[in-house]
Amino acid sequence: MNATILDGRVLAKQLREGLRAAILDFTATHRNAPALAVVQVSGDAASDSYVRSISKACEAVGIRFIHQLLPAGTAQATLEAVLKGLSANREVDGILLQLPLPSGLNAHRAVALIDPRKDVDGATPTSAGLLAQGLPSLLPNTPAGGMELLRRYTIPLAGKRAVVVGRSNIVGKPMALLLLHEHATVTIAHSRTPDLAAVVREADIVVAAVGKPRLITGDMLKPGAIVIDFGINMRDDGTMVGDVDFASAAEVAGAITPVPGGTGPVTNMMLLRNVLQAAQGGAIAR
């Protein structure tokens, strides 16, 4: 293997320690810890486990965790009232609506009701618009974590060719914008892109945000390419693989995030950092 491993676990540990100290400081000054409210509609086991992991992560750094668990079958109007209430509540600094919502609930309408100053998932149309215009905003956690890894490993971005595979609002699109703001020349590929291998082969920086196990293989990479793999794909045997075939890619890449242990651990730290930033007055003045 030739590639440098971009180690998300090591970075997450450093970030956690820095956040714990900053939050202690904030809490001592303001007599109140920053508070994150997670709104969840019951019924999804994967969501349950994610919410538990957020709760633990909050506890580890001293953020107050408020779990607003709504019963399965909750009406859209009730969900919207809860989000409006939390947006207006001065005791709450950050709001995260756990997605996906059960069928019958409109996620877009619900997310849009979150006060953008508390939008710690960077999910509202306002946050997306601010990011698109290069204005200060709370960033979506997953792409923010990918950028943090690139920064910590001092990977040069200006003038580099970047290919982001995947165009979701929460991962692919914001990642492309963040790379663009760092002066990379960015291409976004998706399911209708013909000859994905030829597109990926042009990239100095390859970002995978697809949800297809091992879609990107070593033979698709330019030698020395930097590879950021956001993919989380659970296999039947309970193991997790990325969107990149790690074994073949690591032979060709200059640096690569492993799965697990790459982008995943950094994502939650970005959420916690957003909560602190929102509590401090945020990217957007409150």
Binder among 122, 143, 264, 282 for ligand NDP (CB under 6 A): 264
What is the C-alpha to C-alpha distance for residues 167 and 135, in angstroms, rounded to an integer?
A: 21
What are φ and ψ of residue 164, in 5° steps? -105, 120
177 binds ligand NDP, rule: CB under 6 A:
no
Binder among 211, 254, 260, 261 for ligand NDP (CB under 6 A): 211
Q: Which is nearer to ligand NDP, 74 or 263 (CB)?
A: 263
CB of 268 to ligand NDP, least distance (A): 8
Please give the residue whose beta carbon sits closest to ligand NDP in the complex: 168
Number of H helices and E strands in the chain, helices first, is 10, 11
Biggest alpha carbon–alpha carbon distance for the chain: 57
Question: What would you report as the CA-atom Rg of the chain, rounded to the nearest whole angstrom?
Answer: 19
Which uninterrupted H or E stretch holds 207?
Answer: strand 205-208
232 binds ligand NDP, rule: CB under 6 A:
yes
Residues 95-154 that bind ligand NDP (CB under 6 A): 142
Non-local CB neighbours of 127 within 8 Å, separated by 6+ positions? 116, 119, 137, 138, 139, 140
Q: Which is nearer to ligand NDP, 62 or 172 (CB)?
A: 172
Q: Which is nearer to ligand NDP, 78 or 233 (CB)?
A: 233
Binder among 98, 126, 137, 267 for ligand NDP (CB under 6 A): 267
Residues 22-41 that bind ligand NDP (CB under 6 A): none
What is the C-alpha to C-alpha distance for residues 104 and 61, in angstroms, rounded to an integer?
A: 36
214 binds ligand NDP, rule: CB under 6 A:
no
Binder among 196, 199, 240, 241 for ligand NDP (CB under 6 A): 196
* Nearest residue to 186 (alpha-carbon basis) of 205, 171, 170: 205
- The CA–CA distances, whole Å, from 20 to 50, 139, 142 equal 21, 20, 20
What is the C-alpha to C-alpha distance for residues 238 and 35, in angstroms, rounded to an integer?
A: 33
192 binds ligand NDP, rule: CB under 6 A:
yes
Q: Which is nearer to ligand NDP, 109 or 190 (CB)?
A: 190
CB of 138 to ligand NDP, least distance (A): 16
Residues 153-172 that bind ligand NDP (CB under 6 A): 165-168, 170-172
User: In this structure, are residues 58 and 99 in contact, taking their beta carbons and an 8 Å threshold?
Assistant: no
